[in-house]
A = this chain, B = another copy of it.
Amino acid sequence: MNAPHQPQAPHSLADQYAAVRSQTLELAAPLSEADCQVQSMPDASPVKWHLAHTTWFFETFVLAPHLPGHRDFDPAFRVLFNSYYNGVGAQHPRTQRGLVTRPDLATVRAYRAAVDGQMLRLLEAPVAPAVAELITLGLQHEQQHQELVLTDLLHLLSCNPLAPVYLPALAAAATAPPAAAATWLAQAGGLVDIGDAGAGFAFDNEHPRHAQHLRPYLLASRPVGQGDWAAFIADGGYTDPRWWMSAGWDWVRSQQIAAPLHWRRSAGHGADWQVFSLRGLLPLQVDAPACHISWFEADAYARWHAARHPGQSPSRLPTEAEWEHAAQPVWAQALASRNLLESGAQQARPAAAAASGLQQLAGDVWEWTASPYTAYPGYRAWRGAVGEYNGKFMVNQMVLRGGSCATPRSHIRASYRNFFPTDARWQFSGLRLARDAD
């Protein structure tokens, strides 16, 4: 782990701590105790668990070893809110997180307050660099869980036939001119360096920076849109095995997949698509990025798109190296302009109509890549129990890049590697097309 100071957030560590922690509580503010309690599927966790587990992280990795005289808020929490750190000990089974109605939400809030008090006391004096690094890691960790709070909540609300809302719908935008069609932007490739090179925080999985050889390629200016995806469906995309990986085709048929997660046919005439969101059931937004698709779907879309454009090199997903290499020079402006957690939209939105160049790299939707999630050459996991953070998940998952509308701005980087299994759909996940230079 690198030095803890972050260029994006030039405040004290105590300020950063307070800001991140309160952001989490704000996300939970509109929710009832019941909303915070339920686990809607094994992959998701209750909001209450997120509130507690992020607190457990600071208590376990910072306070217990580094605050003299620290006593655990409740010794039972050591097991109860451990996610997957075997180095720390046993864990309450993941699939049973939603069954723990005691401690109640008020107690978990008290747990947060108690740990926050001790953390701020610790931060009153300068802390050793190693401790500062752990605190920074804890904040980055909490930001990841902020995104999960929203995606897990969206999944929970989507299981309710009454289609409840987390936040009221946004005011309708003034009728915007439709976005220009996506264009192909050429990248030269060659022997390029990939991986974190910054002075700020980065995860171990972004290191070491290393050389990769890339052939010349083209990258689409924008993610695939909801209108594009509706055309894929209308053209029989989900019923034609030609577009699908063998495992993807098995998945489509066994799970009866016929549209992105949270897409629903409206009841009325015409049967238009509607999209369930944190702001309720909304009409399809043709220009907004398609979202809540699995890697299997992203990959199938690319192959379908290739067949529809026979005169050029076939469309495909970019590799993560292609994505990162293209993003590096434009990252600062990408970050400045886009729809991340702080925008408050909490849904993917159309690109600005007049934009040019690579758009929506940061925010809106995570972009599936063609790259399996593996260790970079020379990768070393962090030492100690936090070494379980990333390394042990480097198999049977695919990399996503760029962050989403639920990702905090100070959390995302051009080198950031998110990863999910090929059938996961409950994240804000979309895709951007690439192809070989002709």
Contact = CB atoms under 8 A, between A and B. Distances in A.
Contacts of A73: none
B104 A245 contact: no
Contact of A162 (B102, B159, B314): B102
A121 B160 CA distance: 33
Interface stretch (A199-207, A333-341, A392-400): A392-400
A244 B392 contact: yes
Query: How many subunits of this chain does the assembly comprise?
Result: 4
A10 interface: no
Candidate in A79, A246, A370 with the most chain B CB atoms within 10 angstroms? A246
B215 A378 contact: yes
Contacts of A314: 380
A161 B79 contact: yes
Interface string A367-378: 000111011011
Nearest to A388: B246
Interface in A378-428: 378, 380, 392-396, 398, 422
Interface string A90-105: 0010001011111111
A395 B32 contact: no
Interface in A15-67: 32-38, 40, 48
Candidate in A103, A164, A242, A396 with the most chain B CB atoms within 10 angstroms? A396
Interface residues of A, number: 68
A219 interface: no
A375 B158 CA distance: 36
A254 interface: no
Given A212-B213, A372-B372, A161 B76 contact: yes
Contacts of A395: 245, 247-248, 295-296, 299, 398, 422
Contacts of A33: 32-34, 37
Contact of A34 (B80, B101, B247): B101
Interface string A230-256: 000000000001101111110000000
Contacts of A375: 370
Interface of A: 32-38, 40, 48, 76, 79-80, 84, 86-87, 92, 96, 98-105, 156-157, 159-162, 164, 191, 210-215, 241-242, 244-249, 295-296, 299, 314, 319, 370-372, 374-375, 377-378, 380, 392-396, 398, 422, 436
Given A102-B162, A395-B422, 16 more contacts: A34-B34, A34-B48, A34-B101, A80-B161, A87-B242, A96-B159, A100-B161, A103-B162, A210-B213, A215-B378, A245-B393, A246-B393, A247-B396, A296-B395, A378-B436, A396-B396
27 contacts: A32-B102, A33-B33, A34-B34, A34-B105, A35-B101, A37-B37, A37-B38, A37-B101, A38-B101, A76-B162, A87-B242, A100-B159, A100-B162, A101-B157, A102-B160, A102-B162, A213-B213, A214-B377, A215-B377, A215-B378, A245-B393, A245-B394, A246-B392, A247-B395, A296-B395, A299-B395, A372-B372
